[in-house]
Structure 1
Amino acid sequence: MLAAGLAAALVAGLSGCSSSANAQAPAGGPAAELRLGYFDNVTHAPALVGLEKGLLQDALGDTELTAQAFAAGPAVIEALSAGAIDAAYIGPNPAVNSFVQSAGASVRIVAGAASGGASLVVRPGIDGPADLAGTTIATPQLGNTQDVALRHWLAGQGFETNTAGGGDVRITPTENAQTLALFQGGEIDGAWLPEPWVSRLVLEAGAEVLVDEASLWPGGAFPTTVLLVRSEFLDDHPESVRALIAGHTASVGWLTAHQEEAAVVINTRLADDTGKALPDAVLARALGSVRFTTDPLAGTFETLLDAGVDAGTSKPGDLNGLFDLSLLNDVLAEQGEDPVSAGGLGTD
């Protein structure tokens, strides 16, 4: 309840402070302001690097970039739905839920950002799935991408769970920093998390990896973070969205070309946002499990939706139109790069 109240207050505050700026910008032209959401996670490194090095603002030119850190995907969707932000780095399942619940009207995925970097970590003594009976496992938020992954995987192991926290394994949606503290205090038995929280629990709290999510996907490729835009903002300001994508593409390219420097830049942004940098060993381990890419891996999204439906956190629906990759592929073509596919679920 507290988390919901804080999210609602944040949405109200963002709406009140910023709603007038884009209303003054003519539809079809550049927006006066672009309000961007992201998480302080390693899986959101394209946002962290793009903000810290100014790559996003440089690409946006005269459009003012305002950035806001969030804790988990469903809170970002609430802000997008309220018109409090215009675009966000987010996990795939909340994006799917918003699209389905709005009958395709709310959002569009315009690029990928990261693949990999999520795992189930547990206390010593849990050596296999059978040992999870009666345990308490945390996820970042009900219905977020890791929450769905955990529920779906547990079902495949024969466990029953429910969204109220009951069942054979109790799932407790918990803010990531609190999860670390609860695990250190022995109050939970494990968590399904994105990086850097997997590495923090392993290196700072003695957790062990029971399931690397990459092992569950063909070739180990699954989307962790995508770039999502409000449909209305995309329709009104395609020039600004294209500029955001260009800055995002530059950020992904910089991460790929400067792997040794990436940790320093990411840590600088994390320290600015949270007041504390990550230990070098944690950041190095986290970066080793994430691949940064503009490809959203659209071919996985039907599977992600089915997993959410089975977990009870999603409604069945048609994903046709979820992707608009036309601006991304325009940017990639200018750079001599190969196009990425919408997998039949939108515009290439």
Structure 2
Amino acid sequence: MSGHQQDRATIRITAGGPEPRRRRAWEIGLAVALAAAIIGTAAAAFSATGSPAPRSSRQAAGTPAAELRLGYFGNVTHAPALVGVQQGLLAGSLKENGGTVLETQVFNAGPAAIEALNAGAIDAAYIGPNPAINSFVQSGGESVAVIAGATAGGAQLVVRPGITSPAQLKGTVLATPQLGGTQDVALRAWLKSQGLAVTPDGGGDVAINPTENAQTLKLFQDGKLDGAWLPEPWASRLVLQAGATVLVDEKDLWDGSLAGKPGQFTTTVLIVSRKFAAEHPQSVDALLQGHVAAVDWLNEASAGAKASAVNAGLKAAAGAELPGEVIGRALQNIEFTPDPLAGTFPKLLRDGVEAGVAKPADLAGLFELGTLNRVLSGTPGRALAGAAGLGTD
């Protein structure tokens, strides 16, 4: 990421944990702490780098917003955002349907984006399902609503060669993008299902160090990590650029009973601040029109055109494109869909509770899919999204 983009991005790197069991874990903590000192915490970035501040006033309720501030990640799993921003599909729809200006901000992981949204620094975000659930639960349903899906699939546990079974993970050091994020919860839940104990502070049979993705790649290459549960393109980067092997492909853990299709699980959804949605429903409608257009473009484009467009978005968001083999492998592991697969969310919450990073809660009201389905119904015969009894559709 370039210096300018670091100024605009909010990136939180967490390096918690008790006294490490071995020197390698200590080295990881030191490396991550140094990185955090360089780029700062999310809160510091908002206050000191010129990132958007909360609005002091808004237009009258029911009118299009003057601007819509959108957060997303420089990951392939955020391809609808990458393409929607890069090709002007999101900005164009907002401008044509109310004159709203699109402002964007790049994040590294979900909890940091949620912090920005709750602070009023952004209005909507592409994000993993678990941070969306956590925000909804912690606010008593007042903070955010899931208004669409974006991607499904595209997450793997990749490890150093020689690790071929769960039992061999005991005593190892693994990474996830951020504590409480979607991949972090998936790893913790899977380890528990394999009889391996972990704790939110990094203890247990396996040390889990929440680490920024680019730092994870470097630490793995340096032999200071045994593996990581990562979204694309980072899983592909560790496999193709660092010699990792796939121990678990998350799609193999979903039998289709909750999503309607074997191997399908939610990776990225589109959420909006409930306050913003209440004040500017026309702008949410326009955002969803651009979002659906971006998803459709990705599903209709050739493999080459898709890779080129996503790479252009990655370069703009994260400062660099990916090698052809990496972007190709990553895109093969992902499905683009406006359906948020609401039926999978109760399991995601249960996994977070069992992992110790979430609390039991009622998810009723999390989904507001009426506007999405109005957009989707504009194409005859198109399947609509269901809220699975957890909101409106």
Q: TM-score, normalised by structure 2?
A: 0.86
Map 1:188-227 onto structure 2 (within 5 A): 188-218=225-255, 219-227=262-270
The one of 278, 283, 286 equivalent to 2:330 is 286
One-letter code aligned to 1:83: G
1:237 aligns with 2:280: yes
Map 1:126-165 onto structure 2 (within 5 A): 126-165=163-202
Shift of residue 262 of structure 1?
1.1
Shift of residue 17 of structure 1?
3.8
Q: How many residue pairs are counted as aligned between the two chains?
A: 347
Identity %: 60
One-letter code aligned to 2:373: N
Say which structure is richer in helix.
1
Shift of residue 339 of structure 1?
1.3
- 1:101 corresponds to: 138
What's the C-alpha RMSD, in Å, of the aligned pairs? Answer: 1.4
1:90 aligns with 2:127: yes
Shift of residue 268 of structure 1?
1.1
Structure 1 pair 178–66 and aligned structure 2 pair: CA distance change class (3 A): same
Runs (4+) of structure 1 moved beyond 4 Å? 1-5, 13-16
CA distance in 2, matches of 1:322, 1:12: 30
The answer to whether the Cα contact below 8 Å between 1:12 and 1:84 also exists between their aligned partners in 2 is no
The answer to whether the Cα contact below 8 Å between 1:11 and 1:78 also exists between their aligned partners in 2 is no
1:58-89 alpha-carbon deviations (Å, 9 max, x no partner): 11011010001100000001001101000000
The answer to whether the Cα contact below 8 Å between 1:15 and 1:82 also exists between their aligned partners in 2 is no
The one of 271, 278, 286 equivalent to 1:228 is 271
CA distance in 1, matches of 2:104, 2:197: 39
Shift of residue 143 of structure 1?
0.2
Shift of residue 6 of structure 1?
2.3
One-letter code aligned to 1:10: A
Q: Secondary structure at the match of 1:220?
A: coil
1:298 aligns with 2:342: yes
- 2:41 corresponds to: 6
Q: Secondary structure at the match of 1:141?
A: coil
One-letter code aligned to 2:80: P
Shift of residue 335 of structure 1?
2.2
CA distance in 2, matches of 1:255, 1:97: 29
1:254-291 alpha-carbon deviations (Å, 9 max, x no partner): 00000321111111121122222100000000000000
1:69 aligns with 2:114: no
5+ residue gaps, structure 1: none
5+ residue gaps, structure 2: 1-13, 15-32, 256-261
1:42 aligns with 2:52: no
One-letter code aligned to 2:271: L
- 2:65 corresponds to: 31
- 1:343 corresponds to: 388
CA distance in 2, matches of 1:252, 1:133: 40
1:268 aligns with 2:312: yes
